[in-house]
Homo-oligomer: A and B are copies of this chain.
Amino acid sequence: MHAVIISIGDELVLGQTVDTNSAYLSERLSSRGIMPVMHLTVADDQRATADAIRRACEIADLVLVTGGLGPTDDDLTRQAMADVLGVPLVRDEAALREIAAFFARRQRPMNPRNEIQAMCPVGATMLRNPVGTAPGIKATMGSRKAIVFCLPGVPGEMYAMYDLHVGPHLEASGHRPTLLTTKLNTFGMGESDVAGLLGDLMRRDRNPVVGTTVSGGIVSVRIRSTFTDAVESQRQLDDTIAQVREHLGDIVFSRDQVTLAQVVGELLRQRGMTLATAESCTGGLIGQLLTDTPGSSHYYRGGFITYCNDLKTQLLGVPPEVLRQHGAVSEPCAGAMAEGALRNSGADIAVSVTGVAGPDGGTTDKPVGTICFGVAQRNHATETHRLMLGGDRAFIRLRAAYTAMNLVRQNLLIAYC
C-alpha cells in the first residue's frame, strides 16, 4: 500500500511555518508498514489543492490531507474535494449539530461563518472532530479507488482525528503495527566508540536494525524491529535490547524518553539519599535539570551558584590559597566546592562544576572547554576530574551538566549497589 501526504497552507509554502504534520503522519503510517511515497505542500488555493489531490490519487492507495478545513475564506479543501469528485457540496445536518454543540459546551455563540464547516461533497463522509470545530472528510477517489482522508491542519486536532478515524481504518483493513522502535541512551563515550563496541550489531542488513544518534552529548542507540509478525517483532526487539546492553554495560543510563536527571533522582530515591550542587560555569543548569522532574524535592536539597570567585570562598569555604595557587578552574577548587556544598547543605552527596565555557576566558593552560568536577560524600574521599569538552558555550555547559550528573550516577551505582 502506497500513501501520499498533502499539506495545505500559505504559511507552509511561504516558509513561515515548518510543516511537522507530514513527518508525524509518515511516521505513523510507516509504523504500520505503509510506505509514504511523497509529501506535497500547496498554498490555500482551490485549484492547487484539487490538482494535488488528483495527482496523489494517481499514484497512491491512501491519501492524507491536512489543512484547509477552517471556517474562513482561505479554507478551500472542501471545495477542492468536491471539484475532484465532480459533485456539489451539501450541508451535513449531523455535522452542523456537532459544531453547534462544540460552541454550546464552551458557552460561546456560534459564528454563522462556522456553518461552512458542515458542508460535505456528495458521496463523501464527514469525520467527527472530538477537539475542534472542523469535521474531517473521507472519500474514495480516482481510478485506483484511493481512500482520501482530509484532516484539520492544527496539530492537536489532527493527532486526535488520526487516532479516531485513520488508525482504526488501517487497523480494520489489516495494517497492524509491525514496526517496533526503542532507544537506549548512553553517556560518557563518543558515538564512534559506542559504534565500535556494538560491532556487528550495527550491520545495515540486520533486523532489528541498530543505529546511533547524538543529541547534546547523549549518544542514543536506536533499535528498529520490522518483522511482519508483531509477536516476532517484539521478541526480536527484546533480544537485541539485551545484546546492546551486554555490549555497552553501564554507559546505558535509560530507555526512550527517561532523562539522566530522572535516573539520578530515581537512584537517590531508592537509596534514601539527598543531593546538593555547587555550580560555577553551568550557572544553575544542573539544578534546573534536576528540578525539571516533579517530586525532585524528595532528593534534591538545593545548591550554590558561585559564579564569581569570592562567592566560592564566602559560600563554600574554598580556601583563597587554592584559588591563588590553582585558580578557580582546577580540581582542588572543584573538590573544595563539592565539600563546601556537602557541609553547608546537609545533603548526603554533593557535586560541583567549575570551568571555562567560553567563548572568552581561555588560556594556554586552560583553554575554553576545560571543566573540573568534584564529588563529595560523607565518609568517602572526595573525587575530582578534569575534562576537555568541545563545542560552543551552550554545548559545553550542557555536556558539563550531564557529566556532573553522570558522576553522581556512577557513584551511586558503585557505592551502593
Contacts and interface: CB of A to CB of B under 8 A. Distances in A.
B15 A18 contact: no
Among A281, A286, A291, chain B packs the most CB atoms within 10 A around the CB of: A291
Contacts of A41: 22, 38-41
A265 interface: no
Given A284-B305, A297-B307, A302-B311, A15 B38 contact: no
A345 B309 CA distance: 11
A360 interface: yes
Contact of A14 (B27, B290, B393): B27
Nearest to A293: B393
A285 B305 CA distance: 11
A394 interface: yes
Nearest to A224: B16
A346 B288 contact: no
A82 to B, nearest CB: 21
Interface of A is mostly: mixed
Interface in A274-299: 277, 279, 281-288, 290-292, 294-297
Interface residues on A, range: 35 or more
A307 B287 contact: yes
A54 interface: no
A276 to B, nearest CB: 9
A15 B304 CA distance: 43
B284 A307 contact: no
Given A287-B283, A305-B304, A37 B26 contact: no
Nearest to A277: B305
Interface in A332-379: 344-346, 357-360
A13 interface: yes
Given A288-B285, A303-B305, A315-B344, A15 B30 contact: yes
A296 B315 contact: no
Given A20-B18, A23-B12, A307 B311 contact: no
Contacts of A346: 310-311, 314
A19 interface: yes
A63 interface: no
Interface in A17-68: 17-20, 22-30, 36-43, 48, 52
Contacts of A359: 294
Interface string A208-236: 00000000000000000000000000000
B15 A24 contact: yes
B15 A25 contact: yes
B287 A286 contact: no
A391 to B, nearest CB: 14
A288 B259 CA distance: 19
Contacts of A284: 277, 279, 283-288, 291, 303, 305
A55 to B, nearest CB: 8
Contacts of A20: 18
A129 interface: no
Given A16-B23, A282-B288, A304-B305, 20 more contacts: A7-B39, A13-B26, A14-B36, A15-B23, A15-B27, A22-B41, A37-B43, A38-B48, A40-B41, A277-B305, A282-B291, A283-B284, A283-B291, A283-B296, A283-B300, A284-B303, A294-B357, A301-B308, A302-B307, A315-B344
17 contacts: A14-B30, A17-B23, A19-B22, A22-B41, A37-B42, A38-B52, A40-B40, A277-B284, A284-B287, A284-B291, A284-B303, A284-B305, A294-B393, A301-B307, A305-B305, A311-B345, A315-B315
- Give the 4 A-B CB pairs with smallest separation, nearest first: A284-B287, A15-B26, A283-B291, A284-B284
